[in-house]
């Protein structure tokens, strides 16, 4: 997801690693990953991932992506179908936001830093229940967001503004699971449901009591959905 690093997957990846080879990475300009010079398209993010998988000798993988990660996964499926056996697309859509909304976001962080939007972002990421019950954990995720390199954040916003992958949804022929938190404030349930409906072999699941980052709020539920989908795809 925009403004996150791979730690958001800790509670999902750890248990899955007992039975599967699990690979996590930070997309360009986030976490500990460098940011190449210049603007980027979603295809560039997907090419980064394909290079990583090639280097690790991985193919026919179940690719799991959250928010921008879902678009990266969809692009990877188009560019390198040999690498992808199945998809899990969480809290995402083929087109997220409008050009104007992304321009406003870029302008806000360019002038005020990520701190200027942090509180609004956290309200979309997490449910009110989570924010009330776990203030210390919330503070940690807020710090992760505000420490995201500004250039990396703006570059990703630009890629999201340019990305419209709706035409390629009908080309997806592999088992696909689309998941959304029922209180997602960034990619609402209706948006993700429509997205799933455009993919021929997609299943759609709603996770109750979760916002935009269900791998944090409802890790056990999401983990179960991922594992069941992976087993079904391998059958």
Q: In the predicted model, what is the mean pLDDT of the chain?
A: 98
Q: How far is CA 111 from the centre of its chain?
A: 26
- What pLDDT, on the 0 to 100 scale, is given for residue 46? 99
Enumerate the domain spans of the chain.
6-234
Q: How far is CA 108 from the centre of its chain?
A: 22
pLDDT tens digit string along 85-103? Answer: 999 999 999 999 999 999 9
pLDDT above 90 for 235? no
- Return the closest-CA partner of residue 147 out of 103, 113, 185, 104: 113
pLDDT above 90 for 234? no
- What pLDDT, on the 0 to 100 scale, is given for residue 67? 99
pLDDT above 90 for 113? yes
- What pLDDT, on the 0 to 100 scale, is given for residue 150? 98
What does residue 41 show for φ and ψ, rounded to 5 degrees? -105, 170
Domain 6-234: give its CATH superfamily.
Answer: Alpha/Beta hydrolase fold, catalytic domain (3.40.50.1820)
Query: Which of the four pLDDT bands, split at 50, 70 and 90, describes residue 54?
Result: very high
- What pLDDT, on the 0 to 100 scale, is given for residue 119? 98
The Cα 70–Cα 95 span in angstroms is 11
pLDDT tens digit string along 25-45? Answer: 999 999 999 999 999 999 999
Q: Which helix (H) or strand (E) holds 169?
A: none
Tokens of 33: 């990953």
pLDDT tens digit string along 141-193? Answer: 999 999 999 999 999 999 999 999 999 999 999 999 999 999 999 999 999 99
The Cα 69–Cα 234 span in angstroms is 22
């Amino acid at each position: 997801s925009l403004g996150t690093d791979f730690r958001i997957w800790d509670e999902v990846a750890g248990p899955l690693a007992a039975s599967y080879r699990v690979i996590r990475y930070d997309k360009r300009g986030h976490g500990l990953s460098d940011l190449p010079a210049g603007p980027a398209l979603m295809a560039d993010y997907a090419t980064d991932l394909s290079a990583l998988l090639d280097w690790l000798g991985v193919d026919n993988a179940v690719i799991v992506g959250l928010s921008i990660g879902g678009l990266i996964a969809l692009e990877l499926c188009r560019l390198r179908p040999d690498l992808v056996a199945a998809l899990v697309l969480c809290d995402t859509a083929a087109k997220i936001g409008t050009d104007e909304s992304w321009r406003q976001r870029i302008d806000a962080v360019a002038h005020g830093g990520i701190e200027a939007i942090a509180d609004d972002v956290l309200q979309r990421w997490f449910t009110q229940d989570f924010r009330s019950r776990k203030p210390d954990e919330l503070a940690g995720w807020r710090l992760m967001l505000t420490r995201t390199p500004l250039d990396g954040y703006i570059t990703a916003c630009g890629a999201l503004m340019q990305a419209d992958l709706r035409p390629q949804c009908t080309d997806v022929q592999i088992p696909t699971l689309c998941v959304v938190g029922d209180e997602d404030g960034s990619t609402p349930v209706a948006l993700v449901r429509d997205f799933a409906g455009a993919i021929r072999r997609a299943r759609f699941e709603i996770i109750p009591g979760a916002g935009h980052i269900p791998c944090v709020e409802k890790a056990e539920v999401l983990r179960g959905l991922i594992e069941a989908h992976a087993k079904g795809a391998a059958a």
